[in-house]
Amino acid sequence: MRSHLLSIDSLSRAHVDHLMRVAARMEPIAQRRQVTRVLEGAVLGNLFFEASTRTRVSFNAAFCRLGGSVCDTTGFTFSSMAKGESLYDTSRVLSGYCDAIVMRHPDQGSVAEFAEATHVPVINGGDGPGEHPSQALLDFYTIDKEFTRLGKRLAGAHVLLTGDLKYGRTVHSLIKLLSLYDPMRFTLVSPPGLEMPSRVIDRVESLGHRVEQRESLAGDFSDVDVVYTTRIQRERFTEEMNENFGALSRDFSVDRSFIDDHCSDSTIVMHPLPRDSRPGANDLDVDLNGDPRLAIFRQTDNGIPVRMAIFATLLEVDDLVEKDLRPVRWFVPARLGVDDPAF
C-alpha cells in the first residue's frame, strides 16, 4: 500500500492479505477486551462533506481505539469550502494539523485531488459515485470470516450484487477487490439504467471471472454464497431520472421470502448500510432481522478492526500493536445487539 488509500486500483492481493492479517490482530481491541496506545499523540482529521454515520464514526472510533485523537468537520456549510477554498489549500492546511486525513466528498476524483497536495496519508471515505475502498476491505474481511465459519472457499464462490450498481460506490470497490482473487462468479441485478459501469465489468472479466447481468431477481439463486444488496442512490439522480424512476417496483428488494425461496441456508446477506427501512422502500427488508444469515451488523462491527488496520499500516505501527496491549477495565456486554446470533 502506498501512502494513501484512494482506490482499490492501488492495492495488490499481497496488500489486501496484509491488511486482513493486521485486522485480525486488532480483534481483541475492537472487541473491547484489550487496549493499545500505539497512536498516542496522533491526530486524525475526519472531513465529511456528504452524509455519513458509520463510516465517519467508525473511522473516528478506530483511531481512538489505537490511542489517537480526532478532529472532525461535517458538511460544506461549516467549512471554508463554502467560502470558495480549493481542495489544494484545504489539504495543505489540514496537513499542518493532522497525521492522517479521511475525506468523503460528493465529486468523483476529489479525494485523489486533495491527496495530491499532501504527504500526510489520505483515505478516501467515498468520492461521489467513484469508490469506497475501506468499505470494500471490511466487506472482504466479513466474507472471509463468514466463509471460514461456514467452511466455504472464496475460489469459485458465487456473489450476487444487487440494487444501484451504477451510483453505489461500495460495489465498484468490492467487485474490483474480489477480482484480485481466484476466479469467481458474479451475478449483477439492477433496475434498468442503474447497471454496473461497463469499464468495471470489463476489468473483472479480463481477470478471468464470470459476470452475468440480469434484469430481475426471479429465478434460482440456491448456489449463491453472498447476496450483497445496495440502496438506490437517489441523491445522485438528475431531476429527469427521478421522474423516470418514480416509485421503483419492489422487484429488486431482498426480503425473507426471496432468501427462503431462492437461496440456501448457507447464503449470507450483506449490505453496506444505511438501508431505507421506511414502508414501501426498495431496499433490504427488515423482515430478515434476527436471521443468522443476515450479516449486516457483523459487517458494521468489522469496520473497526479493518479501519484500525488501515491506520496502523499507513502510519507504520502495524508491528507495534501486539507489544502494547493492556486489558480493558470497564464493563463490556457479552453480546452487543438484542438479535445477535451466538456463534
User: Which residues are at the interface with ligand NCD (CB under 6 A)?
Assistant: 54-55, 126, 132, 135, 169-170, 231, 233, 272-273
Which C-beta is closer to ligand NCD: that of 50 or that of 225? Answer: 50
Which C-beta is closer to ligand NCD: that of 34 or that of 55? Answer: 55
What dihedral angle (degrees, nearest 10) is formed by the CA atoms of 214, 220, 226, 230? 40
CB of 274 to ligand NCD, least distance (A): 6
Rounded Cα gap, residues 310 and 1, in angstroms = 9
Rounded Cα gap, residues 179 and 166, in angstroms = 18
Q: Locate cell 426498495: which residue?
A: 282
Which C-beta is closer to ligand NCD: that of 65 or that of 271? Answer: 271
CB of 58 to ligand NCD, least distance (A): 9
Q: Are 275 and 283 a contacting pair, CB within 8 Å? A: yes
Measured N-to-C along each axis, helices 13-30 and 296-314 cross at an angle, to the nearest 10 degrees, of 110
Contacts 24+ apart (CB under 8 A), 336-342: 336/297, 336/301, 337/297, 339/289, 339/290, 340/297, 341/292
Burial class (CB in 10 A: 0-12, 13-18, 19+), 219: exposed
Which C-beta is closer to ligand NCD: that of 65 or that of 231? Answer: 231
CB of 59 to ligand NCD, least distance (A): 10
Rounded Cα gap, residues 126 and 235, in angstroms = 14
Q: Are 161 and 175 a contacting pair, CB within 8 Å? A: yes
CB of 191 to ligand NCD, least distance (A): 15
CB of 233 to ligand NCD, least distance (A): 6
Which C-beta is closer to ligand NCD: that of 67 or that of 168? Answer: 168
Which C-beta is closer to ligand NCD: that of 34 or that of 46? Answer: 46
CB of 230 to ligand NCD, least distance (A): 6
Amino acid letter, 257: S
CB of 37 to ligand NCD, least distance (A): 28
Strand, coil or helix: 26: helix
Nearest one of 241, 291, 248 to 270, comparing CA atoms: 291
Report residue 13 as a C-alpha cell.
492481493
Q: Are 321 and 25 a contacting pair, CB within 8 Å? A: yes
Nearest one of 235, 318, 238 to 51, comparing CA atoms: 235
CB of 104 to ligand NCD, least distance (A): 7
Instruction: List, in sequence order, every residue forming a beta bridge with 159; answer none if it has no partner.
Output: 186, 226
Which C-beta is closer to ligand NCD: that of 131 or that of 318? Answer: 131
Measured N-to-C along each axis, helices 169-178 and 133-150 cross at an angle, to the nearest 10 degrees, of 60
Which C-beta is closer to ligand NCD: that of 126 or that of 133? Answer: 126
CB of 126 to ligand NCD, least distance (A): 5
Which C-beta is closer to ligand NCD: that of 186 or that of 228? Answer: 228
